[in-house]
Amino acid sequence: MFKGLLIENDEAGYRTSLQDIDEQRLPAGDVTVRIDFSGLNYKDALAITGRGKIARVFPMIPGADLAGVVEDSTHPDYRTGDRVLVNGWGMGERHWGGLAQRARVDGDWLVPLPARFTPEQAMAIGTAGYTAMLCVMAIQRHGVTPGDGDIAVTGASGGVGGVAIALLSSLGYRVVAITGRPRESDYVTALGASEILDRAEFAGPGKPLAKERWAAAVDVVGSHTLANLCAGTRRRGIVAACGLAGGMDLPATVAPFILRGVTLAGIDSVMCPRQERMEAWRRLGTDLDLATLGEIAHQIGLDEAIEASSRLLDGTVRGRVVVDVNRF
């Protein structure tokens, strides 16, 4: 038996509770992991609260992230005692996820835990930080250098935004943080932002083209915010889009793309190919100042994740939430 959050959806309704779960109920997979830490992401919170149709099968253990130790393996690349982490791959959607003490997964999903990180630090980074790194890599592949101009980052006080700011500033870029929480200005500045803009400026309908303001952008919001970011991106710039906190729509025109050559790059962290995933974690190990994780993340117990999910969706949670699955 192990402890885990379990989402059920039946004649009694949609609900999430902390339960004792028989290990025999774990799904198919060639590696069983004893989980030390997980994380609470926006998508996880949608699933736990039922505010979004994230879980596709029931019952479901939520959680897109986990870090722990291999307990049993028939996969050729992993053996008992190996420290590993997993992000995405449909965990918490179609496959039982990481907000529990045990998981059974496909060994091809695993990433060896970088030597520089403890399991707790890896989950302080989590899907959010790994996604932020994918955005940074996309910007650099596009050829944008610190000398080309500012980089805009939306959702600056959230997990993706916070790690993106820390990474970009450490690489020498000047970062313009966009947030709707003015009370978090000191926090965002401490992460490395040089300028802070109110998200209200970007939340409504804008012009097809706006003044050229940044060489690149990282967006977690979507909708009007993403459209306005594209409209304000400099010629030959790039916008890395990785979220939809503001909506799935994109009320934009083709003007930025055909008149300025702006590139809109979609960032898929869930099914990202293994080679790029491994490179992102390698880069996190070299480019991220671990001291910033103390600012970005805070820890809760497994039994606190349900209540924390509502606060996360209500926009009152700063940065990353690390879940100690052995504390309840």
The CATH number assigned to the domain with range 2-113+290-324 reads 3.90.180.10
Distance CA 5, CA 315 (A): 22
Across the range 130-138, mean pLDDT stands at 97
Q: Write out the chain in H/E/C secondary structure.
A: CEEEEEEEEECCEEEEEEEEECHHHCCCCCEEEEEEEEEECHHHHHHHHCCCCCCCCCCECCCCEEEEEEEEECCCCCCCCCEEEEECCCECCCECCCCECEEEECHHHCEECCCCCCHHHHHHHHHHHHHHHHHHHHHHHCCCCHHHCCEEEECCCEHHHHHHHHHHHHCCCCEEEEECCHHHHHHHHHHCEEEEEEHHHCCCCCCCCCCCCEEEEEECCEHHHHHHHHHCEEEEEEEEECCCCCECCCCCCCHHHHHCCCEEEECCCCCCCHHHHHHHHHHHHHHCCHHHHHHHEEEEEHHHHHHHHHHHHCCCCCEEEEEECCCC
pLDDT bracket for residue 319 (50, 70, 90): confident
Whether the per-residue pLDDT at 183 is higher than 90: the answer is: no
161: pLDDT strictly greater than 90: yes
Using the 8-state DSSP alphabet, how is residue 170 labeled? H
Rounded to the nearest 5°, which phi and psi values hold at 323? -115, 120
CB 83 within 8 A of CB 119: yes
Residue-averaged pLDDT of the chain? 95
Which of 85, 102, 105 is CA-nearest to residue 284? 85
What CATH superfamily is the domain 125-266? NAD(P)-binding Rossmann-like Domain (3.40.50.720)
> Are 38 and 63 contacting, i.e. CB atoms less than 8 angstroms apart?
yes
Query: What pLDDT band is residue 113 in, cutting at 50, 70 and 90?
Result: very high
pLDDT tens string 11-45 = 999 999 999 999 999 999 999 999 999 999 999 99
Instruction: Sketch the domain layout of the chain as residue ranges.
Output: 2-113+290-324, 125-266
Instruction: Provide the 8-state DSSP code for 184.
Output: G
Q: Answer whether residue 245 shows pLDDT above 90.
A: no
Average pLDDT over residues 82-91: 96
| Confidence label for 98 from pLDDT (cuts 50, 70 and 90) | very high
**Confidence check: pLDDT of 62 > 90:** yes
pLDDT tens string 267-281: 999 999 999 999 999
Instruction: Round the CA-based radius of gyration of the chain to a whole number and report it.
Output: 20
pTM for this model (two decimals): 0.91
Residue with tokens 């997993």: 86
CA distance 221 to 160: 11
Tokens 């306005």 — which residue?
228
Average pLDDT over residues 292-311: 94
High-pLDDT (> 90) share of the chain, %:
91
Query: What per-residue confidence (pLDDT) applies to 315?
Result: 85
Please report which confidence band the pLDDT of residue 187 belongs to, taking 50, 70 and 90 as the band edges. very high
What confidence score (pLDDT) does residue 36 get? 98
Token pair in block for residue 158: 């959230």
pLDDT tens, 198-235? 999 999 999 999 999 999 999 999 999 999 999 999 99
Is the pLDDT assigned to residue 291 strictly greater than 90?
Answer: no
The Cα 312–Cα 305 span in angstroms is 10
